[in-house]
């Protein structure tokens, strides 16, 4: 007698919803990617424009080729959650580039001795005065033999209406002497001493100047080695690209203070 095989009914798949769910998640992810890329297109174009301008000045010889001592001008792209720092305008790039060339020529001896560094930054041009060439260790007093370099720097800056921000910086070695209890005090004292010199000796208008002290918290090199710590002990003269005029400074001084 021949046996007949029983036919088994197909097993119901209760997990098919996972396939649809996965497709939905994929489409949702693609949607947000498209939305994000659309929101970023203007910033990318701005960055490409800044890069093109910089490359153009380099080809014309008006803007020096980047080197290890003079890093390239950064292209700043910001998000909604970070402070908005505008890219330099073309006329600012040209002005800052010309200023950099003139400053490097004026301070060539000090740059060759690694006592001064000059490079462009997002706020403007940075003239970095290293402690070894301008200050005694643990002191805010400016060395007498650094006066010729400061006079040359001041002569170049006096010809232009840019505002200046003087920044004091230290390494991470804690200080405690008869004058200063912390690196905060030392860095601030050095920046304000530079302000005093620019006003008293070189006749700079006080409204063009501002001072700040950052202690060891804005290093430009590693504090793990002596060479890095020497670079971090510095006073940076930042030539701000948004220079303004005396009348604008007066308007700002009469406006209501921010909370």
Q: Which domain holds residue 108?
A: 80-254
Identify the residue whose tokens are 């000045």: 57
- Single out the residue of 227, 229, 135, 228 nearest to residue 186, CA to CA: 135
CB-facing half-sphere around the CA of 72: CA atoms within 13 A: 13
Q: Does this model's pTM top 0.75?
A: no
Count of domains observed in the chain: 1
Does some domain include residue 22?
Answer: no
What pLDDT is attached to residue 34? 64
Does some domain include residue 37?
Answer: no
pLDDT, one tens digit per residue, over 89-98 is: 665 677 889 9
What pLDDT is attached to residue 79? 33
What pLDDT is attached to residue 33? 65
Of 29-33, 38-42, 168-172, 183-187, the range with the lowest mean pLDDT is: 38-42
- Single out the residue of 97, 105, 108, 104 nearest to residue 63, CA to CA: 97
What pLDDT is attached to residue 193? 97
Does some domain include residue 28?
Answer: no
**In the predicted structure, residue 113 carries a pLDDT above the cut 50:** yes
Task: Round the CA-based radius of gyration of the chain to a whole number and report it.
Answer: 28
At 107, the pLDDT band (50, 70, 90 cuts) reads very high
Does some domain include residue 109?
Answer: yes
Does some domain include residue 108?
Answer: yes
What pLDDT is attached to residue 47? 54
What pLDDT is attached to residue 96? 86
What pLDDT is attached to residue 257? 34
190 contacts: CB under 8 Å, gap ≥ 6: 135, 140, 168, 213, 235
At 20, the pLDDT band (50, 70, 90 cuts) reads confident
pLDDT, one tens digit per residue, over 166-225 is: 999 999 999 988 899 999 999 999 999 999 999 999 999 999 999 999 999 999 999 999
Does some domain include residue 56?
Answer: no
Does some domain include residue 168?
Answer: yes
**In the predicted structure, residue 118 carries a pLDDT above the cut 60:** yes
- Single out the residue of 150, 163, 166, 162 nearest to residue 214, CA to CA: 166
Of 43-47, 84-88, 90-94, 147-151, the range with the lowest mean pLDDT is: 84-88
> What does DSSP say about strands 124-130 and 116-120: parallel, antiparallel, or unpaired?
antiparallel
What pLDDT is attached to residue 174? 93
Please state, in angstroms and rounded to a whole number, the distance separating the CA atoms of residues 238 and 154.
13
- Single out the residue of 166, 165, 169 nearest to residue 216, CA to CA: 169
pLDDT, one tens digit per residue, over 48-63 is: 555 555 555 554 454 4
Q: At what angle do helices 17-60 and 90-106 cross, to 10 degrees?
A: 50
Q: CATH number of the domain that 191 lies in? A: 3.30.1330.60
Percent of all residues in the chain with a pLDDT value above 70, rounded to a whole number: 62
Does some domain include residue 87?
Answer: yes
């Amino acid at each position: 007698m021949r046996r007949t095989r029983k036919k088994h009914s197909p097993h119901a798949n209760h997990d098919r919803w996972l396939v649809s769910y996965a497709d939905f998640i994929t489409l949702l992810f693609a949607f947000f990617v498209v939305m994000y890329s659309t929101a970023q297109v203007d910033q990318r174009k701005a960055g490409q424009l800044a890069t093109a301008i910089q490359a153009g000045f380099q080809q014309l010889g008006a803007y020096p080729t980047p080197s290890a001592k003079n890093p390239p001008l950064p292209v700043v792209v910001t998000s909604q959650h970070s402070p908005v720092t505008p890219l330099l305008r073309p006329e600012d790039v040209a002005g800052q580039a010309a200023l950099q060339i003139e400053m490097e020529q004026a301070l060539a001896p000090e740059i060759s001795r690694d006592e001064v560094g000059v490079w462009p930054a997002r706020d403007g041009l940075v003239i970095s005065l290293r402690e070894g060439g301008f200050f005694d260790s643990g002191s805010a007093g400016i060395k007498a033999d650094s006066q010729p370099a400061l006079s040359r720097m001041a002569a170049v800056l006096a010809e232009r209406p840019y505002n200046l921000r003087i920044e004091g910086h230290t390494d991470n070695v804690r200080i405690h002497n008869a004058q200063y209890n912390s690196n905060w005090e030392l860095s601030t004292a050095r920046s304000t001493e530079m302000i005093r010199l620019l006003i008293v000796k070189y006749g700079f208008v006080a409204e063009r100047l501002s001072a700040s002290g950052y202690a060891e918290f804005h290093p430009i090199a590693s504090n793990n080695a002596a060479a890095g710590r020497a670079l971090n002990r510095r006073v940076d003269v930042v030539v701000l690209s948004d220079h303004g005029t005396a009348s604008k400074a007066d308007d700002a001084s009469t406006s209501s203070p921010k909370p």
